[in-house]
Amino acid sequence: MKHIRWAGLVLALTGIVASACGGTTTPAPAGGGTTAPAAGGPTVTKDLIIGFSASQTGAQNVASKKQTEGIQLWVDDVNKAGGIKLKDGTVLKPQIKFYDDESKTDRVQQLYTKLINDDKVDFLLSPYSSGLVKAAAVVSEQNGKVMITAGGADDATMEQGFKYIYQVYTPASKYLTGAIDLIGKLDPSIKKIAIVNEKDSFSTSVVQAAQPYATGKGFQVVLSEGYDTGTKDFAPFINKIIAAAPDAIVGGGHFDDGTTFAKQLYEKKVNARVIALLVAPPEPTFADIGDAAQYIIGPSQWETQVKYSAEAAKSANLPYYGLTAKDFTDRYTTKYSAPPSYHSAGGYAAGQVLQKALEDAGSTDPEKVRAALDKMDLMLFYGHVKFSTDAKTHGKQIAHDMVYVQWQKDSYTNRLATQIVWPPEAKSADAQLRK
């Protein structure tokens, strides 16, 4: 009888292992497979393998999904248009390869190592969220692979002298500075600010820049504290904030805690006149918290109402590249039955940046692509994109700006929607004070 149990155990284990082996993903052809030239010319078609990790599970799931969708839309659009055409006639067909990083840094490092060594990717994109981007950047740089990052705004990552990493997002240090300017303009009587943030690299970076900026502008920072990632119950903390009696509250973290925090601020009837939170407000699903979402301001890398266009580019003396903001929004909404968020735009823009760099370089050689990226200075539907070439901050995004949205109730339909309220040249509505 014992033998049967043994046999069963061995069979079970074998079964698990066998199904695992048998069920591996069909490997994408290693970069460089060639097909016969198309009729009528020396056109060579090559696969361009682009790798990254996505947080299909874990805390960063919501935003990461949007980013992946943006990337996927870009790949589809490029392939529909026939591929990336280089000057020498080669046509590159992008294919993406990604795995679930479970929102964990060591998973990211393992997966990027695998993408580089096993899947032999040509270029890399990044995961979503600064912490994971940091982890991926280290591996990418160690192996000399060019990586275009979306979803990572943390300044420190881009101040390490990396040579192969290029940042598409506006750096974290600029996330709340605009909000502070907005507060000053909206209600000059506001003097006391509470700065509260999630204790992770991104949010900490943001407030490290925001705090001196605020004091520099004459605000009094009455409270500045960080809460643990994953905090659900903000009640005692909010009591502390109430006791400090701020006129404005800025900070937050990522989607989940930002949304929970906003909801509980409303439930506790906190009467700050301005509340600005990171990451969560620009997400369409932020409105799920109902009335608690009203008046909340959030910095956004991009919104559907932005005015980046060929005309705007011309007046700024920049070349314009790629589709319009409206086209992007329409195509995305059609494909995914939901409007894009800035995470989606970031993903798409990262793809576009890579595409333009390849076109400018005329080859897939990393050094030539790097040179093209270093020279890049153009406008996309996503905004103005230019990378720092200074040794210390090489690859950091130096041209892109944040816009600030606020959830406002439409006076006719009484429904909540976001309006761009800052900067003045981009706004679609005036900012409102909380009542």
Partner 1 sequence: MSLDALVASSIDGLMLGFLYGLAAMGLTLIFGVMRVINLSHGPVIALGMFVILELTTRFGINPYLALVLALAIGLAFGVVIYFVAVQRVINAPELTTLLATFSVNLMIIGLGTVIWTTSPRAVNVSLGSVSAGAVTILGTHAVAVAIAIAVTIGLYVFLYRTRPGKSIRAVANNRAAAELMGIDSNAVLALSFGLGTMLAMASGGLLATLFSFTILSGGTYETKSFVIVVLGGLGNPTGALLGGVLLGLLEGVATIAMPVGWVPVFEYVIFVLILLLRPRGLLGPRA
Partner 2 sequence: MSRFREHGFLLSLLGVIVAAAATPLLLGNPSLREELFLVLMLATLASSLNIIMGYTGYVSFGHIVFFGLGGYFAFYLMQTYQWNFVAAALAAALPSCVIALLIGMPILRLRGAYFALATIGINEATRSFVNNFDPFGGAVGMFFNFSVYDAYGGARNAAQLAYVGMLAVALAAIVTSYAIKRSKFGLALLAIREDQDVAMVVGVRPARAKVTAYVISAFFPSLAGAIFFFKNGIIEPGPAFDLLRSIEALVMVMLGGIGTLAGPVIGAALYEELRGLLITNETLSSLHLFVAGVVLLVVVLFVTAGIIGTVRQRFPPLRRYVQ
Query: Which of the listed partners (partner 1, partner 2, none) does 21 bind, with a CB threshold of 5 to 8 Å by partner kind?
Result: partner 2
Which of partner 1, partner 2, none interacts with 232 (beta carbon under 5 to 8 A by kind)?
partner 1
What is the closest distance, in whole angstroms, from the C-beta atom of residue 297 to partner 1 in the complex? 21
| 3-state SS assignment for residue 13 | helix
Closer residue to partner 1 (CB): 76 or 291:
291
Enumerate residues 6+ apart whose C-beta is below 8 A from 193. Answer: 180, 183, 214, 219, 220, 221, 222, 246, 247, 248, 249, 250
Residue 331 CA to residue 335 CA, distance in Å, equals 6
419-427: long-range contacts, CB 8 A cutoff, minimum separation 24: 419/305, 420/303, 420/305, 420/306, 421/182, 421/297, 422/178, 422/179, 422/181, 422/182, 423/178, 423/181, 425/307, 426/306, 426/307
Residue placing its CB nearer to partner 1 in the complex, 76 or 267: 267
Helix (H) and strand (E) counts for the chain?
12, 15
Closer residue to partner 2, CB minimum distance, 110 or 309 = 110
Q: Which of partner 1, partner 2, none binds 227 (CB below 5-8 Å, type-dependent)? A: partner 1
Nearest to 122 by CA among 25, 26, 28: 28
Between 14 and 34, whose beta carbon lies closer to partner 2? Answer: 14
**Residue 188, contacted partner among partner 1, partner 2, none, CB below 5-8 A by kind:** none
CA distance 84 to 360: 11
With respect to partner 2, which residue has the nearer C-beta, 141 or 257? 141
User: Which partner from the list partner 2, partner 1, none does 235 bind, CB cut-off 5 to 8 Å by kind?
Assistant: partner 1
Q: Kindly tell me which of 200 and 256 has the beta carbon lying closer to partner 2.
A: 200
Task: Give me the residues that bind partner 1 (CB under 8 A), please.
Answer: 56-59, 61-62, 103, 199, 225-228, 230, 232-233, 235-237, 239-240, 242-243, 255-256, 259-260, 267-269, 288
- Measured from the CB atom, the residue of 288 and 390 that comes closer to partner 1 is 288
Closest CB 198 distance from partner 2, rounded Å: 8
Collapsing DSSP to helix, strand or coil, 186 comes out as: helix
> Least distance to partner 2 from the beta carbon of 77, Å?
25
Binds 269: which of partner 2, partner 1, none (CB < 5-8 Å by kind): partner 1
DSSP summary character for residue 238: H
Nearest approach in angstroms of CB 116 to partner 2 is 8
CA atoms within 13 A on the CB side of 241: 29
DSSP class per residue in 254-274: SHHHHHHHHHHHHHTT---SE
Smallest separation, CB 236 to partner 1 (Å): 4
The alpha carbon of residue 424 and the mean position of all alpha carbons in its chain are separated, in whole angstroms, by 24
Binder of residue 62, out of partner 1, partner 2, none (CB less than 5 to 8 A by kind): partner 1
At closest approach, how far in Å is the CB of 114 from partner 2?
6
Residue closest to 143 by CA, chosen among 125, 120, 111, 116:
116
Find the shortest distance in angstroms from Cβ 269 to partner 1: 6
In 3D space, the residue among 88, 87, 86, 108 whose CA is nearest the CA of residue 99 turns out to be: 108
Binding site for partner 2 (CB under 8 A): 5, 9, 12-13, 16-17, 19-21, 23-25, 57, 99-100, 104-107, 109-110, 113-114, 117-118, 131, 134-135, 138, 141-143, 156, 160-162, 199-201, 204-205, 226, 228-229
Work out what residue 59 binds among partner 1, partner 2, none; the CB cut-off runs from 5 to 8 Å by kind: partner 1
Residue 423: asked if its preceding bond is cis (omega within 30°), the reply is: yes
Distance, C-alpha 363 to centroid of its chain: 27
Closer Cβ to partner 1, 268 or 335, answer by number: 268
CB of 85 to partner 2, least distance (A): 32
Smallest distance from the beta carbon of 301 to partner 1, in angstroms?
Answer: 21
**Terminal-to-terminal C-alpha distance of the chain:** 75
202 vs 332, which CB is nearer to partner 2?
202
Pull the structure tokens for residue 32.
């460089």
The residue among 119 and 247 lying less far from partner 2, judged by its C-beta, is: 119
**Partner touching 255 among partner 2, partner 1, none, CB below 5 to 8 Å by kind:** partner 1
Partner interacting with residue 341 (select from partner 1, partner 2, none; CB below 5-8 Å by kind): none
Closest distance of CB 229 from partner 2, Å: 7
Buried b (16+ CB within 10 A) or exposed e, 261-278: bbbbbbeeebebbbbbbb
- In Å, how far are 119, 279, 321 from 26, measured between CA atoms? 11, 36, 34
Burial tier of 9 (Cβ tally within 10 Å: 0-12, 13-18, 19+): exposed
